[in-house]
């Protein structure tokens, strides 16, 4: 038998060594490089107004001759761009789409497109595949790349060192503010809105002429953001000035519309840049389903080749401006654009205001233009150097011809010319290549004139290169030309905030007449008039009684006064309708009263009229009238403390709606006093204690009060006193029983 082979020995795997490391070092060595890469190399734009993805795409198109050439398939452009941007074809194509004219995201599109590219204002309109679409650079890109072939910016190797790409593009206008840009990095974000090109050029020129131009002056020149989608911007100068100074804030945008009277239809023509038609349609559907848009019968998307249109059919007789205010409040037809001007300056993220951004761009542009001029100057100096050498030859052309003719070896022509005329090799090489036909008088004279012209041009260029004021003057000329050539009227209309009605919240409920019933025990009922006419006998708990029974409407506001000097605000529409045969809603629970707090009175109102007063009767015999307007608040507050004076408990409260009325007050001493509310003074302060009306004995108190004395007394005149304050009169035998029974 063959011997059994011995199994090979398996060496034990040595466990990895675990090294203790503080979390701070882990973050610094592993996480921070990732963070900085995202911030610097992906998400935050630089002073030229581009992120790396934009820059790589546009430079690829430029270097492939798409500045002046025909349209090229987008698939070809995407493939070529991957030599600079290896992050995938889908990401590159999405970047291309956003820069196109057809997508309509930019005020000044950078790519001239042909095909289906979707729209910025629609999330459902998708772009076609890159094999079906075509593109080339727009004419304005000539200003984006001005000077790039003249060493205006640094060129660096691409990711695999097979070619080079620019670190920045030498934009000859502040593209950073002209076209919008948004990016989300790690721990920071950027959201730069677009401004009108002509206004930005004027603002930049103003700063070039006077670096101390204030934000206020700049705001007079650059009126405000200008979006490709148009719409209306609600202009608040103080808010806008803060954005110009800090680079942070938000602006409110609202849709533009027109009303087609013939078809009774609202046509939305422009919407805020920050929303889409799908979001608007979704919200309209929800509102219509919930019955909150009863003025609207139908709505539809009517986007076509002519542009954006959203049609909203309305009922005949509908108040269109009021309906639009409701739609602005309830739908994204009014939206906000949040500004966050974060950008990279010299590789570091900074948050800058508009003026600071323009100053940084000016510094950048001066550097680019100086390098461009230096490049041109060096080329002219090289040419001048050649012509100066030629000039020496032309002084004795016969001698030059003799040297060339007598030279036996071709390789010695240049050295012999150098020795014969004291010129360098470059000059001699240039002369040796001149054609024989050019050795005529005209050629000689033209070259001499060119030497003189070149000398002047070089001197002028050096003067500009060395003088920052002259550089700025040249940049001003360029900006003026760009404004004239590419400037266009504002698309976004500015509406001053004072022109926008500060309308109250628009009600979205039906309005109809109701009966409001409030009991002393704190129960409230909202009864429809139809139900009320059928049965007005109220179901009450034992010992309870009705203290308020008033006509009202479903959209009225309600004020519930508590016995702890507080008032709770609510709306009639917040309560379900009930019947007289039910107890109703228990207000302390419904409105979350404080523990031990009960109800005193309820008031239903259409508006806070200054002619309406709340009359308070206190247990110490004092009375006061507080204007209803004292309870009006700018914000929708649910509870107000200090609704009335708490120096003495309140015995009763009433509403005086313009016309005075009589009140009968009862004391614990068996006395009564009838007084007209016209005798009670009005006090503007809610905490006012009022004046003494009913004079009481020491320790005495008013136990109750009721309007309409005739309903509880056979002879109300008995208790009326002309001089106040008064002790009133003792209750008659007839009143002492019946009145107390009705009041308690």
Cis upstream peptide for 725 (omega within 30°)? yes
Residues 612 and 601 in one domain: no
Residues 471 and 514 in one domain: no
Residues 267 and 297 in one domain: yes
The per-residue pLDDT for 1 is 45
| Residues forming a β-bridge with 252 | 234, 336
The answer to the question of residue 621 being in a domain is yes
The per-residue pLDDT for 245 is 95
The per-residue pLDDT for 293 is 85
610-637 pLDDT, tens digit per residue, is: 889 999 999 999 999 999 989 987 656 7
- The candidate with the shortest Cα–Cα distance to 41, out of 170, 167, 153, 174, is 167
How far is the C-alpha of 674 from the C-alpha of 660, rounded, in Å?
Answer: 13
pLDDT at 235 exceeding the cut of 70: yes
Cβ atoms 279, 358 nearer than 8 A: no
CATH number at residue 316: 3.30.1360.40
In the chain, % of residues over pLDDT 70: 93
CATH number at residue 44: 3.90.199.10
Alpha helices in 51-126 (DSSP H): 52-63, 74-81, 89-98
Range from 119-128, 232-241, 281-290, 306-315 carrying the lowest mean pLDDT: 281-290
The values of phi and psi at residue 256, to 5°, are -95, 140
Write the CA distances from 280 to 53, 193, 296, 325, integer angstroms.
31, 22, 14, 15
Residues 523 and 415 in one domain: no
pLDDT at 14 exceeding the cut of 90: no
DSSP 16: P
Confidence of residue 713 (pLDDT cuts 50, 70, 90): confident
Residues 518 and 579 in one domain: yes
Confidence of residue 450 (pLDDT cuts 50, 70, 90): confident
What single string gives the DSSP state of each residue in 111-139?
EEEES----TT-SS-PPPPTTT-EEEE-T
pLDDT at 23 exceeding the cut of 80: no
Specify the pTM: 0.67
Q: Pick the last residue of a domain from 171, 186, 209.
A: 171
Residues 647 and 575 in one domain: no
Confidence of residue 506 (pLDDT cuts 50, 70, 90): very low
Cβ atoms 654, 561 nearer than 8 A: no
Q: How many CB atoms lie within 10 A of CB 388?
A: 14
Residues 461 and 363 in one domain: yes
Confidence of residue 13 (pLDDT cuts 50, 70, 90): low
Residues 612 and 707 in one domain: yes
Cβ atoms 614, 628 nearer than 8 A: yes
Residues 321 and 364 in one domain: no
The per-residue pLDDT for 744 is 42
Residues 163 and 268 in one domain: no
The answer to the question of residue 306 being in a domain is yes
| Residues forming a β-bridge with 122 | none
Residues 166 and 43 in one domain: yes
Phi-psi region of 277 (alpha: psi -120 to 50; beta: other; left: phi over 0): alpha
Average pLDDT over residues 721-739: 81
How many domains, in total, are found in the chain? 5
Domain, as residue range, for 383? 358-486
pLDDT at 560 exceeding the cut of 90: yes
Q: Pick the last residue of a domain from 298, 315, 332.
A: 332
The answer to the question of residue 351 being in a domain is no
Q: Pick the last residue of a domain from 130, 156, 171.
A: 171
Average pLDDT over residues 432-456: 81
Residues 589 and 612 in one domain: no
The answer to the question of residue 706 being in a domain is yes
- The candidate with the shortest Cα–Cα distance to 247, out of 193, 327, 188, 292, is 193
What single string gives the DSSP state of each residue in 540-565?
--TT--EEEEEEEETT-EEEEEETTS
163-221 pLDDT, tens digit per residue, is: 999 999 999 999 999 999 988 877 788 999 999 999 999 999 999 999 999 999 999 99
Q: In the sheet where 232-235 sits, what is the strand order?
A: 181-184, 189-192, 334-340, 248-254, 232-235, 493-496
Average pLDDT over residues 346-359: 93
Q: How many helices (H) and strands (E) does the chain have?
A: 21, 33
Is 132 one of the catalytic residues?
yes
Name which residue leads in pLDDT, 439 or 742: 439
Cβ atoms 418, 431 nearer than 8 A: no
The per-residue pLDDT for 7 is 53
Cβ atoms 380, 195 nearer than 8 A: no
Q: How many CB atoms lie within 10 A of CB 455?
A: 15
| Residues forming a β-bridge with 657 | 612
Range from 8-22, 61-75, 165-179 carrying the lowest mean pLDDT: 8-22
The per-residue pLDDT for 543 is 84
The answer to the question of residue 502 being in a domain is no
The answer to the question of residue 30 being in a domain is no
The per-residue pLDDT for 452 is 86
The answer to the question of residue 501 being in a domain is no
Mean pLDDT of the chain: 88
Cβ atoms 662, 713 nearer than 8 A: no
pLDDT at 741 exceeding the cut of 50: no
- The candidate with the shortest Cα–Cα distance to 479, out of 600, 326, 599, 366, is 366
Q: At what angle do helices 197-209 and 468-486 cross, to 10 degrees?
A: 160
The kind and range of the H/E element at 260 are: strand 256-260
Name which residue leads in pLDDT, 679 or 395: 679
Q: Which residues of 60-84 are buried (b: 16+ CB within 10 A; e: fewer)?
A: bbbbbebbeeeebebbebbebbebb
Average pLDDT over residues 140-169: 94
pLDDT at 509 exceeding the cut of 50: yes
The per-residue pLDDT for 504 is 47
- The candidate with the shortest Cα–Cα distance to 250, out of 274, 219, 214, is 274
369-411 pLDDT, tens digit per residue, is: 999 999 999 999 999 998 888 888 877 888 888 888 888 888 8
How far is the C-alpha of 135 from the C-alpha of 62, rounded, in Å?
Answer: 12
pLDDT at 21 exceeding the cut of 90: no
Among candidate residues 132, 443, 601, 644, the one labeled active-site is 132
Cβ atoms 153, 170 nearer than 8 A: yes
pLDDT at 737 exceeding the cut of 80: no
- The candidate with the shortest Cα–Cα distance to 724, out of 683, 694, 700, 696, is 694
CATH number at residue 658: 2.120.10.90
Write the CA distances from 60 to 63, 78, 140, 279, 449, integer angstroms.
5, 9, 16, 36, 41
Cβ atoms 617, 663 nearer than 8 A: yes
Cβ atoms 625, 656 nearer than 8 A: yes
The answer to the question of residue 317 being in a domain is yes
């Amino acid at each position: 038998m063959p011997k059994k082979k011995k199994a090979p020995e398996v060496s034990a795997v040595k466990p990895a060594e675990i090294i203790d490391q503080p979390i701070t070092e882990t973050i610094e060595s592993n996480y921070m490089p990732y963070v900085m890469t995202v911030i610097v190399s992906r998400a935050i734009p630089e002073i030229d107004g581009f992120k790396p993805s934009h820059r790589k795409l546009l430079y690829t198109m430029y270097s492939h001759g798409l500045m002046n050439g025909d349209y090229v398939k987008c698939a070809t452009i995407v493939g070529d761009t991957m030599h600079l941007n290896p992050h995938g074809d889908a990401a590159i194509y999405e970047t291309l789409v956003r820069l196109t004219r057809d997508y309509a995201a930019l005020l000044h599109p950078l790519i001239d497109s042909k095909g289906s590219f979707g729209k910025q204002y629609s999330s459902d309109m998708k772009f076609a595949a890159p094999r079906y679409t075509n593109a080339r650079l727009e004419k304005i890109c000539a200003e984006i790349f001005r000077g790039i072939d003249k060493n205006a910016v640094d060129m660096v190797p691409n990711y695999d060192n097979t070619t080079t790409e620019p670190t920045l593009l030498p934009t000859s206008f502040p593209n950073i503010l002209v076209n919008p840009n948004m990016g989300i990095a790690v721990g920071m974000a950027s959201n730069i809105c677009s401004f009108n090109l002509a206004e930005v050029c004027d603002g930049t020129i103003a700063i070039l002429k006077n670096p101390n131009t204030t934000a206020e002056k700049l705001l007079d020149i650059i009126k405000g953001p200008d979006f490709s989608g148009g719409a209306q911007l609600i202009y608040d100068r103080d808010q806008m000035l803060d954005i110009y100074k800090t680079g942070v804030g938000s602006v409110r945008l609202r849709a533009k519309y027109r009303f087609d009277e013939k078809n009774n239809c609202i046509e939305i023509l422009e919407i805020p840049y920050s929303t889409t038609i799908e979001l608007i349609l979704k919200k309209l559907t929800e509102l219509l389903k919930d019955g909150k848009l009863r003025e609207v019968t139908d709505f539809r998307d009517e986007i076509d080749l002519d542009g954006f249109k959203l049609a909203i059919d309305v009922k005949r007789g509908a108040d269109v401006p009021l309906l639009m205010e409701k739609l602005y409040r309830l739908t994204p037809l009014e939206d906000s654009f949040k500004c966050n001007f974060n950008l990279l300056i010299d590789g570091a993220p900074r948050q800058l205001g508009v003026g600071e951004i323009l100053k940084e761009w000016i510094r950048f542009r001066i550097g680019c233009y100086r390098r461009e001029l230096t490049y041109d100057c060096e080329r002219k100096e090289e040419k001048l150097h050649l012509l100066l050498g030629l000039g020496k030859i032309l002084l004795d052309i016969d001698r030059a011809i003799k040297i060339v003719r007598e030279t036996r070896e071709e390789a010695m022509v240049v050295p012999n010319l150098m020795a014969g005329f004291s010129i360098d090799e470059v000059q001699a090489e240039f002369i040796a290549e001149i054609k024989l036909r050019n050795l005529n008088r005209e050629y000689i004279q033209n070259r001499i004139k060119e030497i003189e012209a070149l000398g002047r041009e070089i001197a002028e260029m050096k003067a500009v290169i060395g003088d920052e004021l002259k550089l700025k003057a040249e940049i001003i000329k360029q900006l003026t030309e760009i404004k004239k050539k590419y400037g266009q009227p504002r698309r976004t209309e500015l509406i001053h905030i004072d022109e926008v009605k500060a309308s109250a919240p628009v009600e979205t409920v039906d309005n109809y007449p109701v009966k409001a019933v409030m009991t002393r025990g704190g129960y409230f009922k909202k009864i429809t008039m139809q139900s009320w006419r059928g049965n007005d006998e109220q179901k009450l708990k034992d010992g309870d009684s009705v203290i308020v029974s008033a006509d009202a409407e479903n959209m009225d506001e309600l004020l519930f006064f508590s016995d702890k000097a507080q008032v709770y605000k609510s709306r009639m529409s917040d309560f379900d309708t009930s019947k007289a045969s039910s107890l109703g809603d228990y207000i302390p629970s419904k409105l979350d009263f404080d523990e031990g707090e009960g109800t005193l009175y309820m008031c239903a109102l259409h508006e806070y009229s200054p002619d309406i007063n709340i009359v308070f009767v206190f247990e110490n015999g004092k009375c006061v009238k507080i204007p209803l307007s004292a309870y009006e608040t700018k914000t929708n507050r649910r509870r107000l403390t200090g609704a009335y004076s708490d120096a003495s408990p309140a015995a009763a409260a009433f509403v005086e709606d313009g016309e005075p009325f009589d009140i009968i007050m009862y004391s614990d001493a068996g006395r009564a006093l009838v007084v007209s509310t016209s005798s009670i003074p009005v006090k503007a302060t809610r905490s006012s204690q009022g004046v003494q009306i009913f004079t009481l004995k020491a320790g005495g108190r008013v136990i109750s009060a009721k309007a309409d004395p005739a309903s509880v007394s056979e002879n109300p005149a008995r208790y009326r006193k002309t001089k106040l304050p008064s002790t009133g009169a003792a209750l008659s035998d007839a009143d002492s029983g019946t009145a107390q029974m009705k009041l308690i």
